Amino acid sequence: MGSAARNAPLPWLKPAVLTGSLVPLAAILMRASANALGPDPIAQALNQLGLLALVFLVAALGCTPLKSIVGWTWPMRLRRMLGLLAFFYALLHVITYTALDQGLDWHAIGDDIVKRKFIFVGFFTFVLLIPLAATSTNSALRRLGYVRWKHLHRLAYLAPALAVLHFTWRVKRDVREPVTYGLVLGALLTARLVDHIGNTRCKARAWCSSKD
C-alpha cells in the first residue's frame, strides 16, 4: 500500500467503530428490558460488561503491533478511543457491581475487596485505568510532558494483564477463555517489547554513527 493510501483521511472510521462498539451495550440493555438476560440477569450483565472492558483493552493494545508488524497505520487513530471505550465498559461493570449486585452496601463492597482476591485484583485494575483515562487528552499530554505521559501510560500494559488475572481467578475451573485472552495479550506484549528493543537499537546505532 502506498503512503498516500495509508494516510487517507477515512473520516468515517472513528464514528463507525464507535457506533459498532456501543452495539453490545444496546444489546445488553434491550435484553435486560425484555427480561431476556437469563435466570441471573445482574450476573449476566456484569460478566458481559467485564468481558467487553477486557476486549477493548486488548484491542487498544493491538493497534501498535498492527502498525509495526503489518504496516497498517489506521488502527493507531483508534487507539485512544478503544482505550476510553475499555474504561467506559469497566466503569459500567463496576457500577453494575456496586449498585445492582451489592445495592451500594459500601461495607459489603469493602469486605468483598479485601476478602476475595479476584475482586481485589478487579478493583486494582480499575484504579489503574482511572489515570489512563484522565490523561488521555492532548492537553493532559502537554501538561505532563511526553516523557512523563509515556511512563504513566505504561500502565496500559499492566491493566489488561491484571484484568486477565481477575478473569482467571473468577472462573475457578474452566480457565480456557481467560487463558486464551492471556495468550493473545502475551503475544501483543511480546510484539511491543521486540519493537521497543528494535527502536532502542536503531537509536543507539544512529547515535554511534553520528559519533563516527
Interface with ligand HEM by CB under 6 A: which range of 11-19, 23-31, 89-97, 130-138? 89-97
Closer residue to ligand HEM (CB): 173 or 211: 173
123 near ligand HEM, rule: CB under 6 A:
yes
Return the ∠ at Cα 123 (arms to 120 and 126), rounded to 5°: 150
With vertex at residue 33, the alpha carbon angle to CA 29 and CA 37, rounded to the nearest 5 degrees, is: 75
- Which of 17, 18, 32, 43 lies at the binding interface for ligand HEM (CB under 6 A)? 43
Of residues 55 and 78, the one with the C-beta less far from ligand HEM? 55
Q: In the complex with ligand HEM, which residue's Cβ is closer, 54 or 185? A: 54
How many binding residues for ligand HEM (CB under 6 A)?
Answer: 22
Q: CB under 8 Å to 127, separation ≥6 — which residues?
A: none
The reply on whether position 119 binds ligand HEM by CB under 6 A is yes
Contacting range for ligand HEM; rule: CB under 6 A; set: 9-17, 41-49, 67-75, 198-206? 41-49
Residues in contact with ligand HEM, shown as a per-residue x/- string from 144 to 163 under the rule CB under 6 A: -------------------x
Is the CB of residue 163 less than 8 Å from the CB of residue 57? Answer: yes
If residue 118 lies in a helix (H) or strand (E), which one and from where to where? helix 117-134
Regarding 97 and contact with ligand HEM (CB under 6 A), the answer is yes
Cα distance between residue 85 and residue 22, in whole Å: 9
Q: Does 53 bind ligand HEM (CB under 6 A)?
A: yes
Burial class of residue 171 in the structure, from the number of CB atoms within 10 Å of its CB (0-12 exposed, 13-18 middle, 19+ buried):
middle
User: By CB under 6 A, is residue 167 in contact with ligand HEM?
Assistant: yes
User: Which residues lie closer than 8 Å to 52 by C-beta, 6 or more apart?
Assistant: 24, 25, 89, 93
Q: Rg of the Cα trace of the chain?
A: 20
Residue 116's Cβ-count burial label (10 Å; 0-12, 13-18, 19+) is: middle
Q: Does 50 bind ligand HEM (CB under 6 A)?
A: yes
Please say whether the beta carbons of 58 and 185 come within 8 A: yes
Q: Which of 28, 37, 45, 54 binds ligand HEM (CB under 6 A)?
A: 54
In the complex, which residues of this chain contact ligand HEM (CB under 6 A)?
43, 46-47, 50-51, 53-54, 57, 90, 93-94, 97, 119, 122-123, 125-126, 129, 163, 166-167, 170
